[in-house]
Amino acid sequence: MKKAFKYGSIGLFAIYLVAVIISMFISPPKKDSESKQPEQSAKAEQITEEYKIGLAKKFCDERSNGEAYFDLKTMAEAITEEGKEDQLISNTSRKPVANDCRTVSDFCLKLWGKDDCEKIAEMKIWIGMSETQLNLAWGNPNDKNNTTNQFGASSQWVYGDPIYGASYVYLDGKDKDSMKVTSWQD
């Protein structure tokens, strides 16, 4: 009985494998919208003035609750070259100014797409986001634990006080300049 079950399992697996292989070669024809060239899809994501205003408002609204965040004023000064290039950008809990939110949201849109900037404005994080995106979303961590070895660089960013509840974000990369978020825990 066990052998019959074993061979039956192999038969089911073989049928599944054949179905997967066939589905790889047979796909429905692409619609016109799916077959557009990259240049055409970039035009589809044109960003209106109304959208930019809304995104800047979202940046400000999400950071107006009194909790610490990456200082948008200092960031805006660094972007517009009014600040020093090597200026340390710290966290603040003061209510952000609309003009600073606009400068930072425009900067975000120049570097990344709408989806990433929406998440950053909403202070959300995701797997694969860069260190800069994480800073813009959640600010500077309370603590960083860095490790470098022959396999690359790793970092644990601690947000909050571990005694009273902290969030931990883990970043990995081939070196300290290429690190991306790989996981997090609350």
Average pLDDT across the chain, whole number: 79
In the predicted structure, residue 99 carries a pLDDT above the cut 80: yes
In the predicted structure, residue 113 carries a pLDDT above the cut 70: yes
Residue 87's pLDDT is: 61
| Stronger pLDDT, 84 or 176, i.e. the higher one | 176
Mention every residue, 6+ apart, whose C-beta is less than 8 A from residue 58.
105, 118, 121, 122
Distance of CA 135 to the CA centre of its chain: 10
Q: Give the bridge partners for 160, in sequence order.
A: 166
Lowest mean pLDDT of 32-41, 117-126, 157-166, 172-181, name the range: 32-41
Whole-model pTM: value is 0.70
In the predicted structure, residue 52 carries a pLDDT above the cut 70: yes
**Burial track 38-75 (b if 16+ CB lie within 10 A, e otherwise):** eeeeeeeeeeeeeeeeebbebbbebbeeeebbbbbbbb
